[in-house]
Each structure stands twice: as structure tokens, then as C-alpha cells.
Amino acid sequence: MENVNQFIDILMEDINFTEHDDNVSHMEALVCPPSFNMVAVLYAMSVLYIFIFIIGLAANSVVVWVNVRAERSRYETHLYILNLAVADLCVVATLPIWVSSLLQQGHWPFGEAMCKITHLVFSVNLFSSIFFLTCMSVDRYLSVALFSDSHSRQKKMVRKLICVLVWLLALAASVPDTYFLQAVKPVHSENTFCRPVYPAESAREWMVGIQFSFIVLGFAIPFPVIAIFYLLLAGAIASSPDQERCLSRKLILTYIVVFLVCWLPYHGVLLVDALSMLGVMSFSCPLENFIYVALHTTQCLSLIHCCVNPVIYNFINKNYRYDLMKAFIFKYSTKTGLAKLIDTSRVSETEYSAVDNHGQL
């Protein structure tokens, strides 16, 4: 969730745009000799982003469509899963624009308004995706440990309120970085870049501050919450005599591992970048080259969660697969009795609620 502009940071320079009183942007650049094939990196990134776009768009579209048609609002985490799919869908929907810029050597031909809008959509939905995963972990544990009499109208209202607050928080977290974005054209280049233009007197402070806000809101707070509440949930399941529910411990641990694998590398590199800007780590060209490649590589890795979330939170779930079959295969088969057969073979609502609270097998 670093500056989305680093998606198109194709210059082999540590670039910082600042704004002076005469409103003319200039660039302070410290050029390092490239130690890798930049063209290869750009094309590899483009291929990966296109792959993530295709898989993420298809998977999350199916999740949204099936959840809306199946009217699964009676289930515990339906609202979070639906909002999560919408957020992931919006994230991957912006990728073709960034790929287009990458393939033009970072040139941004879409104008300043599109620069801000695309970044805002990407950032808001990426934050929302992480926040909904966090809320889901807390909700599932509390539903098992404290509120086993689920499905009350009050709990549904609370979940709706939480979803609204999540979107508002994601918007608030995304506004500062978006505010400084401009479509700028360096004097030495014919290309226009979508980049932040920070006040000259405090450019470094703004850059470091925004990066640390991404680290804190995107990983430092969400991951401990997710890990703690899912481990507590796994402990509660372990003490259950129901052997089938005990098997869901593996899925719960999968939730933790997937989040860690997707987001730890990226935020780790982001932390190194911030420490480098603060002077905690001495500047060197090998370090700059490492940060450049590592940021782009880990950004690709982090966005894979948009493809993985539909699988581990939906497709693995038995009742979701039943809803999927009904939606696609038995849409017009009510007279044949096949749809009724699917209904009788699905897990009972009571059983599903218990399993959903324990990780949605």
C-alpha cells in the first residue's frame, strides 16, 4: 500500500518532487548505475499484474454475484465477505491503468484528475480489504466465545455499522497521499508522471510519515489482531469434541499464513525504504537498487491476496459451493427437483453457523 505511484517508478533514480513558492516542480535525483535489466522488470511486472487482474476480476465477480443471489445475509460473516470481495474487485480493476503506464515507461497520459481518482480507488479499497479481514477475525472469535446466540437483529446492525466505519477509515487513510498527487513533467523528460508533490520545506517528513502510516494501518495493527483472534478461535475449536470442526484449525492457520506471506515482505521493504530516507541506513547504490526491485516484487506479491481471498474465504466453503452450483447449473431447474435436491444436501443452517464461526469450512 505504498504510494501507488511507485507502481510506475521506472526511473533508475531516487526521485523527489517538491513544490516551491513559484509553483514550479523540480526534481532532486541521485543517479545510481543500474544493476539489473529494467526493461525485463517492467515487462515481468506487467505480466504479473495482468494475471492478477484476470484471476482477481473473475473470482471476485463470481463471489459478489453468488453472495447477492444466494441471499446469504443470515450467515455470520456474509456482510464482511461481500464487502471484501467488492474491495478486492475494485483493486484489481485499477491494474490495467497502471500496466498501461508501465508499458509506456512510466508515462501518465490520463491527466491529473485520473491520477488522483485511480490512486484513491486503489488505496481506499486496498485498505478496506485489509480492514475487513481484520474485522472478520474478531467477529468470528467473539461469535464463538461470547455471542454464541448469533443472528440477532442487533448483531446484524452492528456489522452494518462496522462496514460503514471501515470504508470511512479507509478513505481517511488514503486522502493525505492522494491530496499531493499531481501529473508532473520533469524538465529533462518528455514524459508526464503521476507523482506526489510535497511541500519543499517538509518533503522528507511527509514521505516518511505517509510510509509509516501505511505500515501501521496496513500491517502493524491488522496482523497482530488477525493472528491473535484466529489463534484464540483455533484454541476454542481444539477443545471442541466435534472432530469435523477441529479440522478447520488448518484453515484458520491458513488465514494467518496467507496474510503474513502477502503483506510482510512488502511492508518490510517499505520500512527499509523509510529508514533509508531518515538516514538510519546509510545510502548506497546497491541498497537503492535492492529497494527498487524489492518494492515492485513485493507489491506484486501483496496483490495476489485479491486472488487468494475468494478461494480461502469462499470457494473452500461447502455451502458456498452449493450456492455456486445452484446459481450456474440449476438456475432454471426448480421443476426438475434438482435444485431441491441441492437444498436438502446442503449443511443445515445451525451446522453452517457453527462452522462459519470456526473458519467456514
What pLDDT is recorded for position 76? Answer: 62
Examine the pLDDT at 19 and tell me if it is beyond 80.
no
75-94 burial, b for 16+ CB within 10 Å, e for fewer? bbbbbbbbbbbbbbbbbbbb
What pLDDT is recorded for position 314? Answer: 83
Examine the pLDDT at 336 and tell me if it is beyond 90.
no
Q: What percent of the chain has pLDDT over 90?
A: 41
What pLDDT is recorded for position 53? Answer: 97
Examine the pLDDT at 105 and tell me if it is beyond 50.
yes
What is the mean predicted confidence (pLDDT) over 124-129?
96
Angstrom CA distances, 131 to 85, 152, 182, 315, 319, stand at 12, 23, 28, 21, 25
**Mean of all residue pLDDT scores within the chain:** 79
| pLDDT band at residue 26 using 50, 70 and 90 as cut-offs | very low
Examine the pLDDT at 80 and tell me if it is beyond 70.
yes
More confident residue, 173 or 152: 173
* Residue 98 three-state SS: helix
C-alpha cell at position 125: 479499497
More confident residue, 342 or 310: 310
- Cβ count within 10 A of residue 239: 7
What pLDDT is recorded for position 32? Answer: 65
Examine the pLDDT at 175 and tell me if it is beyond 90.
yes
> Are 355 and 361 in contact, with CB atoms under 8 Å apart?
yes
Question: Which residue, among 269, 257, 256, 258, has the nearest Cα to 298 in the 3D structure?
Answer: 269
What is the mean predicted confidence (pLDDT) over 176-192?
86
Q: What percent of the chain has pLDDT over 70?
A: 72
Examine the pLDDT at 331 and tell me if it is beyond 90.
no
pLDDT tens-digit map of 185-218? 887 778 888 988 999 888 889 999 999 999 999 9
- Of the ranges 2-6, 166-170, 245-249, which is most confident? 166-170
What pLDDT is recorded for position 78? Answer: 81
More confident residue, 19 or 167: 167
Selected from 3.40.50.150, 3.30.450.20, 1.10.10.10, 1.20.1070.10, the CATH number assigned to the domain covering 4-357 reads 1.20.1070.10
What is the mean predicted confidence (pLDDT) over 302-309?
95
Examine the pLDDT at 335 and tell me if it is beyond 50.
no
pTM of the model: 0.82
Examine the pLDDT at 172 and tell me if it is beyond 90.
yes
More confident residue, 91 or 35: 91
| pLDDT band at residue 246 using 50, 70 and 90 as cut-offs | low
Segment (H or E) for 28: strand 25-28
In terms of DSSP bridges, do strands 25-28 and 193-196 run parallel, antiparallel, or are they unpaired?
A: unpaired
In terms of DSSP bridges, do strands 16-19 and 198-199 run parallel, antiparallel, or are they unpaired?
A: parallel
| pLDDT band at residue 317 using 50, 70 and 90 as cut-offs | confident
Angstrom CA distances, 350 to 71, 150, 264, 313, 316, stand at 16, 10, 37, 19, 19
What pLDDT is recorded for position 103? Answer: 87
